[in-house]
Structure 1
Amino acid sequence: MENDPTSGEDDTDEYFVIPEEAVQYLPAEWRDQIQAMAADGRAVLKSVDRELSQLSRLSFASITLVTLKHIKRRLTDYRFAPTMDSILENEMLTGAFAVTYVRLQEGGAGSGFSRGALPEHLRPFHDEIVELRNKRFAHNAGHHTVHEAMEIGFAEQRFEVHLGAELRIQIGGAPEWQELVDFVDGLIADRMDKVMAKLAEKTGLEWTLPKGPPPEDMRQLN
Protein backbone atom coordinates (compact mmCIF):
# COMPACT_ATOMS: atom_id res chain seq x y z
CA MET A 1 0.00 0.00 0.00
CA GLU A 2 1.56 3.27 -1.11
CA ASN A 3 1.87 6.29 1.16
CA ASP A 4 -1.04 8.72 1.07
CA PRO A 5 0.07 11.52 -1.35
CA THR A 6 -1.94 14.05 0.70
CA SER A 7 0.08 13.38 3.82
CA GLY A 8 2.77 15.84 2.88
CA GLU A 9 5.44 13.17 2.62
CA ASP A 10 7.77 13.48 -0.39
CA ASP A 11 8.82 9.84 -0.49
CA THR A 12 6.11 8.15 -2.60
CA ASP A 13 8.21 5.01 -3.20
CA GLU A 14 7.65 3.67 0.31
CA TYR A 15 5.19 0.82 0.73
CA PHE A 16 3.54 -0.78 3.72
CA VAL A 17 2.65 -4.49 3.76
CA ILE A 18 -0.70 -5.23 5.38
CA PRO A 19 -1.53 -8.92 6.08
CA GLU A 20 -4.82 -9.98 4.53
CA GLU A 21 -6.26 -10.91 7.92
CA ALA A 22 -5.64 -7.35 9.14
CA VAL A 23 -7.66 -5.68 6.38
CA GLN A 24 -10.92 -6.14 8.31
CA TYR A 25 -9.65 -3.79 11.01
CA LEU A 26 -8.95 -0.90 8.64
CA PRO A 27 -11.31 2.04 8.17
CA ALA A 28 -14.22 1.12 5.92
CA GLU A 29 -13.15 3.30 2.99
CA TRP A 30 -9.62 1.83 3.05
CA ARG A 31 -10.95 -1.69 3.39
CA ASP A 32 -13.36 -1.29 0.47
CA GLN A 33 -10.65 0.19 -1.72
CA ILE A 34 -8.18 -2.59 -0.95
CA GLN A 35 -10.78 -5.31 -1.51
CA ALA A 36 -11.81 -3.76 -4.82
CA MET A 37 -8.19 -3.59 -5.95
CA ALA A 38 -7.65 -7.23 -4.93
CA ALA A 39 -10.75 -8.32 -6.85
CA ASP A 40 -9.63 -6.41 -9.94
CA GLY A 41 -6.17 -7.97 -9.67
CA ARG A 42 -7.56 -11.49 -9.39
CA ALA A 43 -9.76 -10.91 -12.43
CA VAL A 44 -6.80 -9.69 -14.49
CA LEU A 45 -4.65 -12.66 -13.45
CA LYS A 46 -7.44 -15.10 -14.29
CA SER A 47 -7.77 -13.61 -17.79
CA VAL A 48 -4.11 -14.34 -18.55
CA ASP A 49 -3.80 -17.68 -16.76
CA ARG A 50 -2.54 -19.38 -19.94
CA GLU A 51 0.22 -16.83 -20.48
CA LEU A 52 1.28 -16.99 -16.84
CA SER A 53 1.49 -20.78 -17.07
CA GLN A 54 3.72 -20.41 -20.13
CA LEU A 55 5.90 -17.95 -18.25
CA SER A 56 6.16 -20.34 -15.31
CA ARG A 57 7.30 -23.18 -17.57
CA LEU A 58 9.85 -20.90 -19.22
CA SER A 59 11.16 -19.90 -15.81
CA PHE A 60 12.04 -23.55 -15.13
CA ALA A 61 13.76 -23.69 -18.53
CA SER A 62 15.70 -20.57 -17.56
CA ILE A 63 16.96 -22.24 -14.39
CA THR A 64 18.20 -25.19 -16.44
CA LEU A 65 19.80 -22.77 -18.89
CA VAL A 66 21.69 -21.01 -16.09
CA THR A 67 23.04 -24.42 -15.00
CA LEU A 68 24.02 -25.27 -18.58
CA LYS A 69 25.87 -21.98 -19.01
CA HIS A 70 27.74 -22.53 -15.75
CA ILE A 71 28.84 -26.02 -16.83
CA LYS A 72 29.95 -24.72 -20.23
CA ARG A 73 31.98 -22.00 -18.53
CA ARG A 74 33.66 -24.65 -16.36
CA LEU A 75 34.40 -26.73 -19.45
CA THR A 76 35.89 -23.72 -21.23
CA ASP A 77 38.14 -22.97 -18.24
CA TYR A 78 39.19 -26.60 -17.89
CA ARG A 79 42.92 -27.25 -18.28
CA PHE A 80 43.95 -30.81 -19.09
CA ALA A 81 46.64 -32.66 -17.18
CA PRO A 82 47.77 -36.26 -17.80
CA THR A 83 46.28 -37.58 -14.55
CA MET A 84 43.27 -39.72 -13.77
CA ASP A 85 41.73 -36.91 -11.71
CA SER A 86 41.98 -34.55 -14.67
CA ILE A 87 40.45 -37.08 -17.07
CA LEU A 88 37.58 -37.77 -14.69
CA GLU A 89 37.00 -34.03 -14.17
CA ASN A 90 36.59 -33.56 -17.91
CA GLU A 91 34.36 -36.63 -18.10
CA MET A 92 32.18 -35.34 -15.24
CA LEU A 93 31.76 -31.88 -16.80
CA THR A 94 31.05 -33.28 -20.27
CA GLY A 95 28.45 -35.66 -18.87
CA ALA A 96 26.79 -32.90 -16.85
CA PHE A 97 26.72 -30.68 -19.92
CA ALA A 98 25.16 -33.33 -22.17
CA VAL A 99 22.50 -34.35 -19.64
CA THR A 100 21.57 -30.74 -18.81
CA TYR A 101 21.42 -29.74 -22.48
CA VAL A 102 19.03 -32.58 -23.34
CA ARG A 103 16.88 -31.80 -20.29
CA LEU A 104 16.62 -28.21 -21.53
CA GLN A 105 15.92 -29.30 -25.12
CA GLU A 106 13.23 -31.80 -24.17
CA GLY A 107 11.70 -29.29 -21.77
CA GLY A 108 8.23 -30.04 -20.57
CA ALA A 109 4.75 -28.82 -21.51
CA GLY A 110 6.07 -26.75 -24.39
CA SER A 111 9.13 -25.24 -22.72
CA GLY A 112 11.70 -27.12 -24.81
CA PHE A 113 12.83 -26.57 -28.39
CA SER A 114 13.02 -28.66 -31.53
CA ARG A 115 16.07 -29.51 -33.60
CA GLY A 116 14.48 -27.57 -36.45
CA ALA A 117 14.54 -24.36 -34.40
CA LEU A 118 18.35 -24.39 -34.54
CA PRO A 119 20.45 -22.94 -37.38
CA GLU A 120 21.38 -25.66 -39.83
CA HIS A 121 25.11 -25.47 -39.10
CA LEU A 122 24.50 -26.13 -35.38
CA ARG A 123 22.27 -29.16 -35.81
CA PRO A 124 25.14 -31.69 -36.14
CA PHE A 125 26.51 -30.50 -32.77
CA HIS A 126 23.04 -30.77 -31.27
CA ASP A 127 22.88 -34.36 -32.54
CA GLU A 128 26.32 -35.05 -31.11
CA ILE A 129 25.29 -33.90 -27.63
CA VAL A 130 22.03 -35.87 -27.71
CA GLU A 131 23.90 -39.02 -28.74
CA LEU A 132 26.49 -38.45 -26.02
CA ARG A 133 23.74 -38.18 -23.44
CA ASN A 134 21.76 -41.17 -24.68
CA LYS A 135 24.56 -43.64 -25.42
CA ARG A 136 27.46 -42.65 -23.18
CA PHE A 137 26.25 -40.84 -20.09
CA ALA A 138 22.60 -41.76 -19.48
CA HIS A 139 23.01 -45.35 -20.70
CA ASN A 140 25.82 -47.74 -21.55
CA ALA A 141 24.58 -48.13 -25.11
CA GLY A 142 27.74 -48.53 -27.13
CA HIS A 143 28.81 -44.98 -27.93
CA HIS A 144 31.61 -44.86 -30.50
CA THR A 145 33.92 -43.03 -28.06
CA VAL A 146 33.91 -45.85 -25.51
CA HIS A 147 35.51 -49.26 -26.10
CA GLU A 148 35.86 -52.16 -23.72
CA ALA A 149 39.49 -53.21 -23.22
CA MET A 150 39.37 -56.23 -20.96
CA GLU A 151 42.42 -58.51 -21.08
CA ILE A 152 42.62 -62.09 -19.85
CA GLY A 153 45.93 -63.75 -19.13
CA PHE A 154 46.70 -67.34 -18.23
CA ALA A 155 49.70 -68.48 -16.25
CA GLU A 156 50.43 -71.24 -13.74
CA GLN A 157 46.95 -72.73 -14.05
CA ARG A 158 45.31 -69.38 -13.23
CA PHE A 159 43.36 -66.87 -15.29
CA GLU A 160 44.05 -63.20 -14.59
CA VAL A 161 41.38 -60.71 -15.66
CA HIS A 162 42.41 -57.10 -16.25
CA LEU A 163 39.45 -54.77 -16.68
CA GLY A 164 39.87 -51.65 -18.73
CA ALA A 165 38.28 -49.26 -21.18
CA GLU A 166 39.39 -46.96 -23.94
CA LEU A 167 37.81 -43.51 -23.85
CA ARG A 168 37.98 -40.82 -26.47
CA ILE A 169 37.51 -37.45 -24.84
CA GLN A 170 36.87 -33.94 -26.12
CA ILE A 171 38.90 -31.65 -23.90
CA GLY A 172 36.74 -28.74 -22.78
CA GLY A 173 33.89 -29.68 -25.12
CA ALA A 174 33.56 -28.76 -28.79
CA PRO A 175 34.09 -25.03 -29.54
CA GLU A 176 30.72 -24.94 -31.30
CA TRP A 177 28.94 -25.88 -28.08
CA GLN A 178 29.27 -22.29 -26.86
CA GLU A 179 27.56 -20.95 -29.99
CA LEU A 180 24.80 -23.50 -29.49
CA VAL A 181 24.27 -22.44 -25.86
CA ASP A 182 24.23 -18.76 -26.87
CA PHE A 183 21.59 -19.43 -29.52
CA VAL A 184 19.35 -21.36 -27.11
CA ASP A 185 19.78 -18.55 -24.57
CA GLY A 186 18.47 -16.06 -27.14
CA LEU A 187 15.66 -18.43 -28.14
CA ILE A 188 14.31 -18.70 -24.60
CA ALA A 189 14.71 -14.95 -24.00
CA ASP A 190 12.70 -14.25 -27.17
CA ARG A 191 9.92 -16.57 -26.03
CA MET A 192 9.72 -14.82 -22.68
CA ASP A 193 9.57 -11.42 -24.39
CA LYS A 194 6.68 -12.63 -26.54
CA VAL A 195 4.76 -13.87 -23.50
CA MET A 196 5.32 -10.54 -21.74
CA ALA A 197 4.09 -8.68 -24.82
CA LYS A 198 0.99 -10.89 -24.90
CA LEU A 199 0.31 -10.14 -21.23
CA ALA A 200 0.44 -6.40 -21.94
CA GLU A 201 -1.77 -6.78 -25.01
CA LYS A 202 -4.48 -8.77 -23.22
CA THR A 203 -4.60 -6.67 -20.05
CA GLY A 204 -3.75 -3.21 -21.35
CA LEU A 205 -1.30 -2.93 -18.44
CA GLU A 206 2.48 -2.80 -18.26
CA TRP A 207 4.29 -6.00 -17.33
CA THR A 208 7.99 -5.99 -16.53
CA LEU A 209 10.58 -8.71 -16.10
CA PRO A 210 13.94 -7.82 -14.51
CA LYS A 211 16.88 -8.42 -16.82
CA GLY A 212 20.61 -8.14 -16.52
CA PRO A 213 23.30 -9.80 -14.39
CA PRO A 214 22.31 -11.52 -11.14
CA PRO A 215 22.60 -9.62 -7.85
CA GLU A 216 26.05 -9.33 -6.33
CA ASP A 217 25.31 -11.91 -3.62
CA MET A 218 24.27 -14.44 -6.32
CA ARG A 219 27.41 -13.81 -8.39
CA GLN A 220 29.51 -14.63 -5.35
CA LEU A 221 28.10 -18.15 -5.42
CA ASN A 222 29.73 -18.90 -8.80
Structure 2
Amino acid sequence: MEKSENEINEILAKHKKQIEQMGKMLLNIYAIANIRFWYSCLANFRKSDDMQKDILQMEALTTSIIVSYGRIFGKGTGTTVLKEQIIPTELMIVHKEIIDLRHAKYAHHGELSTLEKGIEVNYVDSSFMITPKFEIGIWLGAPKHWAPLFEFLDGYMYESLHNTLTHLTMETGVEWKFPHGPTPSWIF
Protein backbone atom coordinates (compact mmCIF):
# COMPACT_ATOMS: atom_id res chain seq x y z
CA MET A 1 0.00 0.00 0.00
CA GLU A 2 1.43 3.34 -1.06
CA LYS A 3 1.97 5.99 1.60
CA SER A 4 1.23 9.67 1.21
CA GLU A 5 3.98 12.22 1.62
CA ASN A 6 2.56 13.18 5.04
CA GLU A 7 2.53 9.52 6.18
CA ILE A 8 6.10 9.07 4.98
CA ASN A 9 7.24 12.20 6.82
CA GLU A 10 5.46 11.07 10.01
CA ILE A 11 7.20 7.67 9.87
CA LEU A 12 10.57 9.32 9.28
CA ALA A 13 10.02 11.79 12.13
CA LYS A 14 8.86 9.08 14.54
CA HIS A 15 11.92 6.92 13.80
CA LYS A 16 14.45 9.72 13.44
CA LYS A 17 16.71 8.37 16.23
CA GLN A 18 16.90 4.90 14.66
CA ILE A 19 17.65 6.40 11.26
CA GLU A 20 20.38 8.60 12.76
CA GLN A 21 21.79 5.55 14.57
CA MET A 22 22.01 3.65 11.26
CA GLY A 23 23.82 6.64 9.75
CA LYS A 24 26.35 6.47 12.56
CA MET A 25 26.72 2.71 12.09
CA LEU A 26 27.79 3.35 8.51
CA LEU A 27 31.10 4.82 9.70
CA ASN A 28 31.91 1.58 11.51
CA ILE A 29 30.75 -0.51 8.56
CA TYR A 30 33.04 1.57 6.34
CA ALA A 31 35.94 1.23 8.81
CA ILE A 32 35.54 -2.54 8.93
CA ALA A 33 35.40 -2.73 5.13
CA ASN A 34 38.65 -0.74 5.05
CA ILE A 35 40.23 -3.01 7.67
CA ARG A 36 39.26 -6.10 5.68
CA PHE A 37 40.66 -4.56 2.47
CA TRP A 38 43.98 -3.50 4.01
CA TYR A 39 44.27 -6.88 5.74
CA SER A 40 43.79 -8.64 2.37
CA CYS A 41 46.51 -6.40 0.90
CA LEU A 42 48.85 -7.50 3.68
CA ALA A 43 47.86 -11.15 3.32
CA ASN A 44 48.60 -11.03 -0.41
CA PHE A 45 51.69 -8.81 -0.16
CA ARG A 46 54.51 -9.82 -2.47
CA LYS A 47 57.98 -8.53 -1.86
CA SER A 48 59.79 -6.54 -4.49
CA ASP A 49 63.44 -5.77 -5.03
CA ASP A 50 63.11 -2.67 -2.84
CA MET A 51 63.07 -3.92 0.75
CA GLN A 52 62.76 -0.45 2.28
CA LYS A 53 59.71 0.32 0.14
CA ASP A 54 58.17 -3.07 1.05
CA ILE A 55 58.66 -2.46 4.76
CA LEU A 56 57.12 1.02 4.56
CA GLN A 57 54.13 -0.29 2.60
CA MET A 58 53.51 -3.10 5.09
CA GLU A 59 53.85 -0.66 7.97
CA ALA A 60 51.38 1.73 6.31
CA LEU A 61 48.84 -1.06 5.84
CA THR A 62 49.27 -2.28 9.42
CA THR A 63 48.98 1.28 10.75
CA SER A 64 45.77 1.80 8.76
CA ILE A 65 44.29 -1.41 10.18
CA ILE A 66 45.16 -0.65 13.77
CA VAL A 67 44.10 3.01 13.71
CA SER A 68 40.76 2.16 12.09
CA TYR A 69 40.22 -0.71 14.52
CA GLY A 70 40.86 1.59 17.47
CA ARG A 71 38.32 4.09 16.14
CA ILE A 72 35.44 1.63 16.23
CA PHE A 73 36.07 0.94 19.92
CA GLY A 74 37.22 4.43 20.95
CA LYS A 75 35.31 7.42 22.15
CA GLY A 76 34.32 9.55 19.24
CA THR A 77 31.60 11.67 17.86
CA GLY A 78 29.50 10.96 14.82
CA THR A 79 29.60 7.19 15.11
CA THR A 80 28.44 4.36 17.27
CA VAL A 81 31.09 3.04 19.64
CA LEU A 82 31.30 -0.72 19.79
CA LYS A 83 31.61 -2.17 23.27
CA GLU A 84 34.31 -4.69 24.08
CA GLN A 85 31.60 -7.02 25.44
CA ILE A 86 30.49 -7.91 21.89
CA ILE A 87 33.80 -9.68 21.25
CA PRO A 88 33.56 -13.46 21.74
CA THR A 89 35.78 -14.79 24.52
CA GLU A 90 37.97 -16.73 22.09
CA LEU A 91 38.75 -13.52 20.14
CA MET A 92 39.31 -11.24 23.14
CA ILE A 93 43.08 -11.87 23.27
CA VAL A 94 43.41 -10.72 19.64
CA HIS A 95 41.23 -7.67 20.34
CA LYS A 96 43.40 -6.71 23.31
CA GLU A 97 46.58 -7.27 21.26
CA ILE A 98 45.39 -4.85 18.59
CA ILE A 99 44.19 -2.25 21.10
CA ASP A 100 47.48 -2.52 23.04
CA LEU A 101 49.44 -2.08 19.81
CA ARG A 102 47.33 0.94 18.96
CA HIS A 103 48.02 2.59 22.31
CA ALA A 104 51.69 1.67 22.60
CA LYS A 105 52.92 1.89 19.03
CA TYR A 106 50.54 3.53 16.62
CA ALA A 107 48.85 6.23 18.68
CA HIS A 108 51.88 6.91 20.88
CA HIS A 109 55.50 5.79 21.04
CA GLY A 110 55.26 3.73 24.20
CA GLU A 111 56.84 0.66 25.69
CA LEU A 112 55.53 -1.70 23.00
CA SER A 113 56.86 0.47 20.19
CA THR A 114 58.92 -1.51 17.72
CA LEU A 115 60.79 1.60 16.68
CA GLU A 116 64.22 1.89 18.29
CA LYS A 117 65.87 5.19 17.58
CA GLY A 118 69.19 6.78 18.20
CA ILE A 119 71.71 9.20 16.79
CA GLU A 120 75.33 8.59 16.05
CA VAL A 121 77.56 11.67 15.99
CA ASN A 122 80.91 11.54 14.22
CA TYR A 123 83.46 14.25 13.60
CA VAL A 124 84.49 13.92 9.96
CA ASP A 125 86.45 16.39 7.83
CA SER A 126 86.05 19.30 10.24
CA SER A 127 82.25 18.69 10.56
CA PHE A 128 79.93 16.85 12.83
CA MET A 129 78.06 14.19 10.88
CA ILE A 130 74.74 13.16 12.43
CA THR A 131 73.60 9.69 11.43
CA PRO A 132 70.10 8.63 12.48
CA LYS A 133 69.76 5.02 13.61
CA PHE A 134 66.40 3.28 13.36
CA GLU A 135 65.52 -0.32 13.98
CA ILE A 136 61.95 -1.23 13.16
CA GLY A 137 60.14 -4.44 14.06
CA ILE A 138 57.14 -5.30 11.89
CA TRP A 139 55.08 -8.24 10.69
CA LEU A 140 55.85 -9.50 7.24
CA GLY A 141 52.41 -9.92 5.75
CA ALA A 142 49.20 -10.20 7.72
CA PRO A 143 49.01 -11.72 11.22
CA LYS A 144 46.82 -14.75 10.46
CA HIS A 145 45.27 -14.80 13.92
CA TRP A 146 43.65 -11.39 13.26
CA ALA A 147 41.41 -12.63 10.41
CA PRO A 148 38.70 -14.30 12.56
CA LEU A 149 38.24 -11.12 14.60
CA PHE A 150 37.76 -8.99 11.50
CA GLU A 151 35.35 -11.54 10.04
CA PHE A 152 33.35 -11.54 13.27
CA LEU A 153 33.11 -7.72 13.31
CA ASP A 154 32.01 -7.64 9.69
CA GLY A 155 29.23 -10.12 10.46
CA TYR A 156 28.28 -8.31 13.66
CA MET A 157 27.82 -4.99 11.87
CA TYR A 158 25.85 -6.62 9.05
CA GLU A 159 23.59 -8.36 11.56
CA SER A 160 23.14 -5.20 13.66
CA LEU A 161 22.10 -3.16 10.64
CA HIS A 162 19.69 -5.82 9.43
CA ASN A 163 18.18 -6.20 12.91
CA THR A 164 17.45 -2.47 12.89
CA LEU A 165 15.87 -2.73 9.44
CA THR A 166 13.74 -5.71 10.54
CA HIS A 167 12.64 -3.80 13.65
CA LEU A 168 11.70 -0.74 11.57
CA THR A 169 9.79 -2.94 9.12
CA MET A 170 7.80 -4.52 11.96
CA GLU A 171 7.07 -1.15 13.62
CA THR A 172 6.05 0.72 10.47
CA GLY A 173 4.51 -2.00 8.33
CA VAL A 174 6.75 -0.80 5.48
CA GLU A 175 9.73 -2.83 4.34
CA TRP A 176 13.10 -1.20 5.09
CA LYS A 177 16.01 -2.31 2.87
CA PHE A 178 19.71 -1.67 2.57
CA PRO A 179 21.41 -2.17 -0.81
CA HIS A 180 24.04 -4.86 -1.00
CA GLY A 181 25.90 -6.57 -3.75
CA PRO A 182 28.28 -9.45 -4.19
CA THR A 183 31.11 -10.00 -1.74
CA PRO A 184 34.22 -8.13 -2.91
CA SER A 185 36.89 -10.29 -4.53
CA TRP A 186 39.45 -9.34 -1.89
CA ILE A 187 37.39 -10.82 0.97
CA PHE A 188 38.52 -14.35 1.73
TM-score, normalised on structure 1?
0.71
1:103-143 Cα shifts (integer Å, max 9, x gaps): 22336466231222112232222222223223322333343
Matches for 1:48-197 after TM superposition, within 5 Å: 48-81=15-48, 83-106=51-74, 108=77, 111-153=80-122, 159-197=128-166
8 A Cα contact 2:33 2:154, kept in partner: no
1:157 deviates by: 7.4
Gaps of 5+ in 1: 1-33
Matched residue SS, 1:130: helix
User: Which amino acid is the alignment partner of residue 55 of structure 1?
Assistant: M
1:67-105 Cα shifts (integer Å, max 9, x gaps): 222111111111235611111111111111111111223
Matched residue SS, 2:121: strand
**Matches of 2:127 and 2:13, distance apart in 1:** 76
1:21-52 Cα shifts (integer Å, max 9, x gaps): xxxxxxxxxxxxx9x81011111111211211
Q: Which residue in the other structure is 1:40 paired with?
A: 7
8 A Cα contact 1:68 1:101, kept in partner: yes
**Matches of 2:125 and 2:68, distance apart in 1:** 50
Gaps of 5+ in 2: none
RMSD of aligned C-alpha atoms? 2.6
Instruction: Tell me how many residue pairs correspond in the alignment.
Output: 182
Q: Which residue in the other structure is 1:4 paired with?
A: none
Matched residue SS, 1:164: strand
8 A Cα contact 2:27 2:79, kept in partner: no
**Matches of 1:160 and 1:110, distance apart in 2:** 49
1:206 deviates by: 1.7
Report % sequence identity.
23
Matched residue SS, 2:46: coil
Higher radius of gyration, 1 or 2: 1
Q: Which residue in the other structure is 1:5 paired with?
A: none
Runs of 4+ in structure 1 over 4 Å off: 107-110, 154-159
TM-score, normalised on structure 2?
0.83
Bigger RCO of structures 1 and 2 (CA < 8 A, at least 6 apart): 2
1:160 deviates by: 3.8
Matched residue SS, 2:4: helix
